[in-house]
Structure 1
Amino acid sequence: MDFKLTEEQQMLQETAERLVRDAYTFSNREKFSESEAGFSPEFWKQMGELGLTAIPFPEELGGFGGSGIENMLIMQELGKGICLEPYMESVILAGGLITQLGSDSQKEELLAGIASGELQAAVALEEQQSHYDLSHVTTTATKQDGVWNLNGRKAVVIGGHTAGKILVSARSAGDVRDQSGISLFIVDPNSEGVSRRVYSTVDGRKGCELFLNNAKAELLGTDGEAYDAIHYQAGRAIAALCGEAVGAMRVLCDITLDYLKTRKQFGVPIGKFQVLQHRMVDMISELERATSMAILAACLADDEDSEERSAKLSAAKYMVNRAAQYVSEQSIQLHGGIAMTWEYSGAHYAKRLVMIGHQFGDDDHHLEAYAAQLSI
């Protein structure tokens, strides 16, 4: 296979790289994280102006018709800057769900805003008890006089505190663990019956819990048949997260290597000690293995849903999660005490990698999912 990027893909990567490099110094990131939004609205606006928020959408919907490869390239650069903007949540996941399930009027109304960066969307799929099982839904949806009302509580809605629209999964039929009977709804977070509890996550981002009390909602897609689309788009989100993790790991390896070259002990750089050289080689080996799996995930992210696709995405997420854990732990060990200080960027890369490891399933979850596919 030819793994070389096309000229257009190289230009896209260079555009994203330049934008992140210019805007996301470590000190700037700290300011963005401490702001009310928890990210940089100006940076989000620039992404829209450069067309980065329009990449995944079909050309007829105002996008550039990008694939999982283009998504990976952008996510890698965002990972290098440990950027705080909810690009995956708004553009890839929410945008993907609207593209797959939305009516023509819903696509026209919402996707143009998401593609231009004028509308930030969020997705509320998880609940406190769900533990990576997106079919475990207790939030209920009832229809009365032609109007849908939602009741329940959604957890860990990243970017939900600033979103203009939130896509919420709710059960309109079936038992709490049934895949059938799950519907997807568009909710205005500022409408009556909707409240949010905003909090900071361990990696410096912000999210919220979403409380719904007879909240009015607009159905997205067909009543009770949203799970397949949720499962499919979650696969695209997993591929994107793998790309982001690789970007973050690459920078973490670079700053660790630079530290080994400059930190001196017994009058020589500590990188001269063979045991530390071996650790550094192991880190790079894990990074390259994770890169290969991220490329695999990106290549099949937009394929038709199948058991094989699900198994390979689980394998990729498992391998990337394990590599991220190893690289983070070794980087902290090789840095020593400085790696645990808030002022040093390495600790923040490690924290982001921990969070990525838990989004849409940790390594144990995906190992179990992969093993289940092998036994079929």
Structure 2
Amino acid sequence: MGFLLNDEQRQLGDSATEFLNAQSPLSLQRRLRDERAPLGFEPALWQQVVELGWPAAVFPEAYDGLGVGYLGLGAVFEAMGRTLAALPLLSSVVLCGELLLAAGSEAQRQRWLPGLVDGQQRLALALDEQGRHHPERIKTHARRNAQGNGWVLDGEKWFVIDGIGAPWLIVVACVLDAQGADAGLGLFMVEATQAGITLQPTRLADSRNHARITLSGVEVADALRLNAAADAAQALDAALDRARICLAAEGLGLLREAFERTNAYLKERVQFDVAIGSFQALQHRMARLYTELEMLHSCVRAALSAIDTPADTQDAELALLASLAKARASDLCEKLMNEAVQLHGGIGVTDEFDLGLMVKRARVLQHSLGDGVFHRERYARLKGF
């Protein structure tokens, strides 16, 4: 398993860093927050990203993709973390795109994937139904309609990432058989504006685009259920693991930026006529944080590399690496950001200081698609404990 980026992947990461530093600095995220932008991102910026080919990075060439792989896309997410760039890349490309690849029929892939690649289509995954991430606990149900040619969906979804403004949703539902018994998970393409759907914006600490969605008697045609022959639970796990790894990569970028800013501040801040960075106790704290950052870097690279491993050699290792990376990222999002605030002293808690924006995004990243507790439990379960 190789952790090093090839030339194409490295160039993608370098170009993402350069582009986001110029076009999506932290000041843009502050403006989006202050304006309470309903989409949580800048549509013009997203269109530029599409033209750069980022959404095409991991899709096969058969669907107009570039096939660069997740090591390359992970470098993009790391660059996004450094500037807090808000883009619907995770929701449309990683979560929904991977579900279509894994569980969609060829006709469904041909219908939806080219639109994700060229930016003409945007999708959001409606999954969680409570305050904590538990993809196994799905109460939203799908039952056959009276005519027997479609489905009726009822339920509620929380914290749908980029749910506001997405024309289509992929809804995860428990399929009920004729007797009302659980017949497994189903994945349904649902138009967000159709009758029976209510979308309510949910603003989290990072001011990004999240939605709470209620489905009441929503009619869905048979053709809009993702391939029923596919294992929906397995496809969902695979898509979630890829998204968790990308979130860990974003967290790595954010944490590196916060660490470097804190390190620079310790060299500049003078107390008792010396820079506070000369105090041994603070040096020890920074050294421990640096060590944990490097450990997270190794976990993220290993997980990204595992995604790019040929499918016939993949096994449960990917799920283990995904939970390992996300657990470490979640824990460090809390620990390092708390340390950064404290080491900055009083200015660390002011809204005018950019570190405050970084803390808020880190808190949401910490809990998105499972926090440290969830993933440590999952890792132990996968190991047979």
Please show how residues 254-333 of structure 1 align to structure 2 within 5 Å.
Answer: 254-302=260-308, 304=311, 306-333=315-342
Distance in 2 (CA, whole Å) between partners of 1:225 and 1:142 is: 18
Aligned to 1:58: 60
1:183–1:223: 8 Å Cα contact kept in structure 2? no
Distance in 2 (CA, whole Å) between partners of 1:176 and 1:224 is: 21
Distance in 2 (CA, whole Å) between partners of 1:314 and 1:177 is: 31
Distance in 1 (CA, whole Å) between partners of 2:22 and 2:180 is: 47
The alignment's TM-score, normalised by the length of structure 1, stands at 0.94
Aligned to 1:98: 100
Q: Which moved more, 1:156-165 or 1:351-360?
A: 351-360
Distance change in 2, residues 1:254/1:41 (3 Å): same
The alignment's TM-score, normalised by the length of structure 2, stands at 0.92
Aligned to 1:234: 240
**Paired residue secondary structure (1:44):** helix
Please show how residues 158-197 of structure 1 align to structure 2 within 5 Å.
Answer: 158-173=161-176, 181-197=184-200
Distance in 1 (CA, whole Å) between partners of 2:30 and 2:154 is: 36
Residue 302 of structure 1 deviates from its aligned partner by: 4.8
Residue 195 of structure 1 deviates from its aligned partner by: 1.0
Q: Which moved more, 1:9-18 or 1:46-55?
A: 9-18
Q: Which moved more, 1:27-36 or 1:279-288?
A: 27-36
Aligned to 1:42: 44
Aligned to 1:27: 27
2:82–2:253: 8 Å Cα contact kept in structure 1? yes
Aligned to 1:138: 139
Residue 203 of structure 1 deviates from its aligned partner by: 1.3
Matched, 1:148 2:141: no
Matched, 1:4 2:39: no
Distance in 2 (CA, whole Å) between partners of 1:231 and 1:21 is: 33
Distance in 2 (CA, whole Å) between partners of 1:360 and 1:60 is: 29
Post-superposition Cα deviations, 1:103-146, rounded to whole Å, max 9, x if no partner, equal 222212211111112222110111027x3221211111122221
Aligned to 1:120: 122
Aligned to 2:347: 338
Q: Which moved more, 1:232-241 or 1:265-274?
A: 265-274
Aligned to 2:376: 367
Residue 164 of structure 1 deviates from its aligned partner by: 1.6
Distance change in 2, residues 1:323/1:36 (3 Å): closer
Distance in 1 (CA, whole Å) between partners of 2:174 and 2:354 is: 42
**Paired residue secondary structure (2:176):** coil
- The residue type paired with residue 280 of structure 1 is M
- The residue type paired with residue 374 of structure 1 is K
- The residue type paired with residue 288 of structure 2 is D
Gaps of 5+ in 2: none
1:202–1:351: 8 Å Cα contact kept in structure 2? yes
**Paired residue secondary structure (1:186):** strand
Distance in 1 (CA, whole Å) between partners of 2:336 and 2:172 is: 35
Distance in 2 (CA, whole Å) between partners of 1:330 and 1:111 is: 42
Identity between Structure 1 and Structure 2 (%): 30
Q: How much is the aligned-residue C-alpha RMSD, in angstroms?
A: 2.1
Distance in 2 (CA, whole Å) between partners of 1:177 and 1:44 is: 43
- The residue type paired with residue 142 of structure 1 is R
Distance in 1 (CA, whole Å) between partners of 2:339 and 2:305 is: 29
- The residue type paired with residue 134 of structure 2 is D
